[in-house]
Amino acid sequence: MTGLKNYAIILLLFLKLTMKNTSPLRAIRLNCLDCMGGSGNEVKLCPSEQCPLYPYRFGKNPNRTKRILSESQKALLVDQLKKARKKKAI
């Protein structure tokens, strides 16, 4: 079991050092995992509620609301995605 935990810690350190384009939320998640010894369960049970990163510890923004799209908006986004994929494939 300790071998797996050591592997997780090494993997987290490797990801921190090599991921240059890491999003801020991903960086917060990695920081929380590092702080809790690489254990996702410990991040979930984190006792540090005064930490400014506490609400973001799962790698999600708790203040972001889900977008509700109409059918026409969905169709427009699908078309835009198809055009972008075609352009990228060229």
* Residue with more model confidence, 16 or 63: 63
pLDDT at 20: 66
- Enclosing domain of residue 43: 2-65
Structural domain includes residue 31: yes
pLDDT-derived band at 80, boundaries 50, 70, 90: very high
Please, are residues 28 and 51 in contact by the beta-carbon 8 Å criterion?
no
Please, are residues 8 and 38 in contact by the beta-carbon 8 Å criterion?
yes
Structural domain includes residue 80: no
Render pLDDT for 23-79 as a digit per residue (tens, 0 to 9): 888 888 888 888 888 888 999 999 989 988 899 888 888 888 888 999 999 999 999
pLDDT at 1: 47
pLDDT at 74: 95
Q: Name the domain count of the chain.
A: 1
Q: Is 59 left (phi over 0), alpha (psi -120 to 50) or beta?
A: left
Structural domain includes residue 72: no
Render pLDDT for 63-78 as a digit per residue (tens, 0 to 9): 888 889 999 999 999 9
pLDDT at 7: 66
